[in-house]
Amino acid sequence: MYGLDRQLAAGGNHSAPTRVTPDMKSIVYSQTGDPSVLQLVDRPVTEPGAGEVRVRIVVSGVNPTDWKSRRGSAPGQALAFDDVVPGQDGAGIVEAVGAGVQHVSVGDRVWLALAAYQRANSGSAQEYAVLPAERVFVLPANASFDQGASLGVPAITAYRALTVAEDGPRRLRPGALAGKVVLVAGGAGAVGHAAIQLARWAGASVVTTVSGPAKAALATAAGAQHVLTYTDPDVVEQIRAIAPEGVDLIVEVAPAQNAGLDLAVIRNRGSIAVYANNGGDQVTLDVRQHFSLNVRYQFVLLYTVGADVIRAAAEDINAALVDGALSVGEEAGLPLHRTDLAHTADAHALVESGVVGKVLVDVSAG
């Protein structure tokens, strides 16, 4: 397999845009299954319609949501389309814009979010993608294509998790989380990494829990001030020593495993933002104790948060990028693993295996 050192939704309806030449390379799958269902094919380049943008993809990002969609919820599950181009995240250069598009122009460097959502042919795992303009955002001049392709699902999910607290901000900016203590469960993951960086940029004190020394080093590199091992028998006492009145907000990746810990460290009127189900689908909560603390649980799924949230998140994420936040690479706490487009199946396999870091697919020259 190539590059092993060096991933929901495609549903809904979308009519095919007008075709132009020449052909391009695309990754497609026509059935659910393991990474072997991903095939490299030649397809015509197409023109954007009204409200659409064509982007030459430089780097495609792979997320767990990509392989989960490819796997499907059950063996043999039917696809919403005859075939699907995967890839929700990516970065590239605008090549053409349709009527009515104003916020991006030909030649702009851009990053993508939810590229493949409810679209058959708009995913980032191809040389050219035509997608709705509201899913395309200008990439700041100081940000790399690798950074752009690493945003999307992880950064917007982290942003949403940091802006749902009852007593917290609805938008992020420097100082927005000043005086707040944020606990990020799983700080070495892609969402955890983005949550640490965004929370620090917004002025929070960040505590994170990880499984061991290697991941602790990554979370520290991302900027967390307090990095703890969640298996330590006194982890609750350690967190309470940092935040005697309890933490203000928890960014939670494993609610089934961490519900007890979260209750033990959350402050009165604190919020727990759940963005994944690592460790199980069922959560048992002590109703009386949560009542007594006025705890808010907020579940976060990027696909259904709404266009206004996505737009606000993109604006504030870009401000963070301009300020030098959201760096990637091992030195910033997010190791990068790479394949080329022809070996996208290897990239999916890496993410599905639980590799630590961000998996990128090099599609074309920047």
Determine, yes or no, domain membership for 311: no
Whether 15 shows a pLDDT value over 80: the answer reads no
Q: How many folded domains does the chain comprise?
A: 2
The answer to whether residues 127 and 177 belong to one domain is: no
In DSSP notation, 151-195 reads: SHHHHHHHHHHTT--TTS-SS--TTTTTT-EEEEESTTSHHHHHH
237 and 209 Cβ atoms separated by less than 8 Å: no
* Arithmetic mean of pLDDT over the chain: 93
Task: Give dist(CA 178, CA 150) in Å, integer.
Answer: 26
User: Which domain-ending residue is among 302, 326, 342?
Assistant: 302
CATH at 276: 3.90.180.10
Q: Which domain range does residue 350 map to?
A: 19-150+334-362
Cβ-proximal residues to 102 (8 Å cutoff; 6+ apart), any chain:
none
- Compute φ and ψ for 256, nearest 5 degrees: -65, -40
- Whether the pLDDT of residue 163 is over 50: the answer is yes
Task: Please tell me whether residues 46 and 72 are part of one structural domain.
Answer: yes
Residues 117 and 164 in one domain: no
Question: Could you tell me if 114 and 53 lie in one domain?
Answer: yes
d(CA 342, CA 62) in angstroms, rounded, equals: 14
Where among 259, 279, 302 does a domain terminate?
Answer: 302
One domain, residues 200 and 111: no
The verdict on 171 and 242 lying in the same domain is: yes
H/E element, 351: helix 344-352
> Which pTM value belongs to this model?
0.92
- 170 and 287 share a domain? yes
Instruction: State pLDDT tens for residues 27-82.
Output: 999 999 999 999 999 999 999 999 999 999 999 999 999 999 999 877 677 888 99
